[in-house]
Chain A
């Protein structure tokens, strides 16, 4: 992270795309940055926050993405350059504000960075933000390298001011989280001065920041987009490499540009295939694209997620005079490139080879045959699981047992966070619905109102502590207001753990490391008049009993807070385990026990392994974090925990 604040123009650093974006914002002279953590965008704010104090600007983790964007807009309205960063889901959360701010224009440069996650590697959907730019008339840029990620971000602030509208930088996982060379530029030294201008030049009763009259402003927005298109026609972020007349023209953007380059090089097609790389994605530079369409009778569009370029270019062609070139298109519609999931060089090599009718072998056939003969059993798959010592494993163990003891076929509705792992064996398959932030409680609201239709299954909604603040509070209030029957379990591990332990309103620490008032989850719930119990999930007996009691209640929502600090955070601070754990081989009865290997097959902690030779359970001392929970579940008390 330290790399982004280095005041040494001209030196080259090895930065991840997110750090490069943060550096671009610094070089643009931002005074304000706001974000909510979300993979793959988190490091933008982490790196900005790490230098904010020293570099005299303000950075915050906001409660959610909508507030982050609104905060950044507030700063922009008062003449301070501002950035908001989020993942694709966050853009949906912020979209209501986004749809309004495009109507008004901005004060100082305002840039929204959105990191999309093709293949949904760390997400629950594959939303393509480029569509939002088209939908809401927002200029959008997409970097193809780490250097561009920095340079483009810096330029986006100038562009936003020139056009008087918010601009979007779209990045994807393989730029955001990959690392590459970035040559640093100058860091500006200017004092920020904030002032909100109360006067509108055209209508004295309004300010500029009231999107009224909307239809007229919508028309003005189209004028801004026309201007953007004009600027983009000669942008240095768009270029062509290849022969003057090509057998195939690849049109591409973002991370796919490097895949396309590699495909052409690997197949030795540099003299036959040209590449038009676009960096200004919306609005598209129409004249530039038209010029290149005549280069080749065949066009392959290489882009990630939706056929955005492909569709937009085809739309453009529909308006051209009949005599204009009408090349054949290859891409997502033709099936040469997937319209889902992320791309990689293999896929682009494959599509290019297919169109050019050449064969490609990545390695000698003999080697491939030998590799294919390795038995599958030599490479057992690793499933995602909770970390050793994770309090969530204990919480879901308690939930599982409480629901079974209750016996009415109860179930858990959830959302995204570390605890989503409970859709699988890590959390004993307990989470039965999983949607966006706060959706566990939202969905539970509906389920909790179905008694009149004969529904009597207990509903447990789960959320994390950061998620509680982000999007669960309105759902809980709705439950109180409408008297919906569900139990909300807040898995409070005192961190936004999934994205790397960022602080949130419940932690008493800000992004810039300052102490602040703790927003107390219990107090907040008490103020709504709901019953609240706090448990330590490591006290399995009490946690299970409390859940069972709460499930049995009827009426409006009640809350159980499962409070235990994230083990990774605790271990980092305390640098020693809670317990030293071992299996007493004399007590462990192995297969003969009748427990069906409860500890290694059901409890699923990576620190517990099955010693095949001895036929007994064993602790892997390199992996075990020493939480000692397994000692409490062993029916033979064969797992021994000793306090450290």
Chain B
């Protein structure tokens, strides 16, 4: 079986309130706990329903429980639901080895001038050792609902092979977590994400 590339492995999920950060971190966290790992998840919420910046810190270890805060500069993987949020996290938590997977769809901040995707993407690339830039929201819209962008990104995360988790372990957790009638649609999005990982 594959093992963690580092212990603890530090993963940050970044996005905007309402994009499903908590759901993603819980799915991944549960999959690791089932395999006997210690998992700590720290969430910034409070503003989570209100279009604020949100992030989840996941810390995965074979040895012990870690705190819910990843120290500055110590993220191993960043999964971004929105490019500006991805860049914000990279600036504080990134380092020369960090692997980044990010959605390309901008979510505008109320009352602020917004930068172009090109500039943001270039900055993200400059701070990442490896980058997957995924049109998750657009791909999800093609599948019928932009809300599945987060499942596409989970698919890309698993498909990239950077975690010791396979499709089956995620699917098992998904089966327990989402209503039966929504499972197929979620799996469709997940598979799309895996496919995009191979292309990236």
* Residue-wise interface mask of A (175-212) relative to B, using a CB-CB cutoff of 8 A (1 in contact, 0 not): 00111110000000000000000000000000000000
Residues of chain B with a CB closer than 8 A to A259's CB = 67, 69
Contact between chains at B71 and A346 (CB < 8 Å): yes
Considering only CB atoms, which chain A residue lies closest to B120 in the complex? Answer: A378
Contact between chains at B65 and A145 (CB < 8 Å): yes
Report B62-95 residues with CB < 8 Å from chain A CB. 65-69, 71-74, 84, 87-88, 90-92, 94-95
Report B46-76 residues with CB < 8 Å from chain A CB. 46-47, 49-53, 65-69, 71-74
Binds B, one of A104-112, A268-276, A368-376: A368-376
Point out which of A179, A349, A374 has the most chain B C-beta atoms below 10 A from its C-beta.
A179
Considering only CB atoms, which chain B residue lies closest to A622 in the complex? Answer: B146
A345→B59 CA distance, assembly (Å): 13
Binds A, one of B110-118, B161-169, B183-191, B192-200: B110-118
Residues of chain A with a CB closer than 8 A to B4's CB = none
Contact between chains at B46 and A178 (CB < 8 Å): no
Residues of chain B with a CB closer than 8 A to A623's CB = 51, 107
Point out which of B18, B68, B91 has the most chain A C-beta atoms below 10 A from its C-beta.
B68
* Residue-wise interface mask of B (28-52) relative to A, using a CB-CB cutoff of 8 A (1 in contact, 0 not): 0110010000111111111101111
A104→B43 CA distance, assembly (Å): 40
A380 CB–B CB distance under 8 Å: yes
Residues of chain A with a CB closer than 8 A to B26's CB = 14, 179
Instruction: Choose from A147, A181, A367, A372 the contact partner of B96 (Cβ within 8 Å).
Output: A367
Contact between chains at A384 and B52 (CB < 8 Å): yes
Tier of interface size on chain A:
35 or more
B137 CB–A CB distance under 8 Å: yes
Number of interface residues of B (CB under 8 A): 57
A152→B111 CA distance, assembly (Å): 47
A328 CB–B CB distance under 8 Å: no
Given A14-B29, A262-B71, A377-B115, A609:B108 Cβ within 8 A? yes
Residues of chain A with a CB closer than 8 A to B73's CB = 362-363, 367-368
Question: Nearest-CB distance from B149 to chain A (Å)?
Answer: 9
Contact between chains at B65 and A181 (CB < 8 Å): yes
Binds B, one of A69-77, A128-136, A444-452, A599-607: A599-607
> Which residues of A are interface residues toward B (Cβ below 8 A)?
12-14, 39, 121-122, 145-147, 174, 177-181, 255, 258-259, 261-262, 266, 344-346, 349, 362-364, 366-368, 370-372, 374, 377-388, 421, 425-426, 568, 600-601, 604-606, 609-610, 612, 620, 622-623
Known: A179-B42, A374-B127, A623-B107. 13 other contacts (CB 8 A): A14-B39, A121-B46, A174-B42, A179-B25, A181-B39, A262-B67, A363-B96, A368-B73, A371-B92, A384-B47, A384-B50, A606-B51, A606-B110
A-B residue pairs in contact (CB < 8 Å), sample of 13: A13-B33, A178-B68, A179-B25, A179-B39, A258-B66, A345-B71, A362-B71, A362-B95, A378-B123, A379-B87, A387-B18, A604-B111, A622-B105
